[in-house]
Amino acid sequence: MKRKEELRLQVAQVHAALSVARLAAGIAGIVANCNLKASDSRNPSIHSEGGDWGEEMSTVVASAAALVATVCAEAAESVGANRAHVASVISTGLATRTFADVLTLTATAATCLRGAATLKLRFANSPEDRNILARDSELLVLLPSGRVQLRMVCIYLKHNKLTLRLGKKHLHGVFTRFKESCNFSSLSYRN
């Protein structure tokens, strides 16, 4: 089951990296193919605070988007995408021409990134990892009297409340007596 989850996470990361690479390639392609003129007064969106957005700015933005596409393509390859798939994604991105296409690529990239992040979080918070807190560990504990003693400490969820269990060894470790405290705020916990 763990291997299946690892594979699912890897596939999600590949899709996320490829979708961002396709979006960046699409932006690079559109900006490089646009002929934005500084004298176009009908489109105020091409003007910035620093002046007009002319051919030089188009070239700079296209180069920056191409760099982002390249980095994302390399990231996709590093997590398992093959070169042919990466090349296909970049070609598809460069063929983008319409506003609707860019909007679709943006939504797809955002969804893939969110999905990969969710799977990564789920994988990182697997039940095995949560149970590490439930194992007894020997820690130095500051007692209310001000003394510091070595105690067995265990933290776990009990009835959706964080519970702390302190253990004290008796007769040189022959047996241990535990005391539970659950005076902590309740947690919302989902598997």
The pLDDT score that the predictor gives to residue 39 is 39
The pLDDT of residue 128 is above 80: no
The pLDDT score that the predictor gives to residue 130 is 54
pLDDT tens-place string over residues 149-170: 777 777 776 776 777 777 777 7
- Work out the pLDDT band at 145, boundaries 50, 70, 90: confident
The pLDDT score that the predictor gives to residue 35 is 53
Per-domain boundaries in the chain: 2-124, 129-181
Q: Are 134 and 155 in contact (CB under 8 A)?
A: yes
pTM > 0.85: yes or no:
no
C-alpha 5/C-alpha 116 separation (Å) is: 12
* Helices 2-33, 99-124: inter-axial angle, 10-degree rounding: 160
C-alpha 36/C-alpha 45 separation (Å) is: 11
